[in-house]
A = this chain, B = another copy of it.
Amino acid sequence: MFKPITIKDIAQALNLSASTVSRALSDSYEINPETKKRVLAYAEQNNYKRNPIALSLKQRKSYSIGVVVCEVANSFFSQAIDGIESIAYKNGYNIIITQTHDSYDREVMNIKHLANRSVDGILISLSAETTNFDHIKKLHDAGLPIVFFDRIYDGLATHKVSSDNRNGAKMATQHLIEKGYRKIAHLANAPHLSITKERLAGYREALTENGIPIEEANITYCHHGGSNQKEVDAAVQYFLSMDEKPDSIFVASDRLSIGCLTAIKKYGDKAYMPAIAGFSNSDVLDLFSTDFSSIRQPAFEMGRVATDRLIQLIESKYPVYEHESIVLGTELIERIPGKLL
């Protein structure tokens, strides 16, 4: 069942040796054009396909790259994957996608699994829970090419691709300020994530520049990135329980935005309805006239750039010592309530 034709079969059929066939197939210069033509013709006819597994074994290369994200059912990441795929395929690689669901344990498992599966390199966006990086360091030290995107770890000498989180956060906060809000809460992601720190910095910057005092009590972290709705609910309930409730919330991520809106819908009332602005790549938001302006990251492009760099690393003949930190711009999408829909 399903036994494809091999180089040996061709050799036998054409009365040649396997090595000659191999050479003909890889278009070696030192081969009789006549023979080459015969081999190619026969291969074509019997639609011979190189066995990539044998090739991998021989060349110690799998032509596949691993991708580690928290979840694919997330606008930002699914768009990023589109970008990753586009570059990977163009270069003859396929991608193996794994999801951490923002759990450290699953991240460790997945990365081990990928390394074990002998991928040629890995693209990582860290899980919200990750604070120990040994599982990644070990592989990196062993020579496995790794590129971070979105959720970066700075302690590793490799390429990093992110978006301008600080400025995005600043724009969002500034946007709320311009709309007249003053008591702006911040629903933040897990505290150790790179994006959390950067977005927090942007939030602070906007407030400071506008002479609004920063109150730590207005900032709440979601240690699991909102992968459990309960923690988002708790955060929102906390905001709602404050003596002086926030008039608006700057939300740090796609996942949290959805979670935050859900929680507000659940616990809020007509009398109190904070404005919301935050990071999100969801297209669906465009359809509604909520008071939810968002910061959009160039997800597709980030995926492309990260993959491009990873393949560079993989295919480089010599060890690469210079590493880029690439930061792409973010975009504010203002949404005005009260229009159609």
Listed in ascending order, the chain A residues whose CB lies under 8 Å from chain B are 1-2, 4, 49-54, 56-57, 62, 64, 71-75, 78-79, 81-82, 85, 94-99, 113, 115-118, 142-144, 258, 261-262, 264-265, 268-270, 273, 282-288, 290, 319, 340-341
Contact = CB atoms under 8 A, between A and B. Distances in A.
Contact of A96 (B1, B96, B142, B290): B96
A319 B1 CA distance: 9
Given A50-B116, A265-B341, A270-B340, 19 more contacts: A2-B142, A52-B116, A52-B117, A52-B118, A73-B82, A74-B78, A81-B97, A95-B96, A95-B97, A96-B96, A97-B97, A261-B287, A261-B341, A262-B287, A265-B287, A273-B340, A282-B284, A284-B284, A288-B290
A interface secondary structure, majority = mixed
A290 B2 contact: no
Contacts of A64: 96, 117
B341 A290 contact: yes
Contacts of A142: 1-2, 4
Nearest to A4: B142
Contacts of A79: 73
A116 B284 contact: no
A321 to B, nearest CB: 14
A277 to B, nearest CB: 15
16 contacts: A1-B142, A51-B57, A53-B53, A57-B57, A72-B81, A73-B75, A73-B79, A73-B81, A94-B96, A94-B113, A94-B117, A95-B96, A97-B97, A287-B290, A288-B288, A290-B341
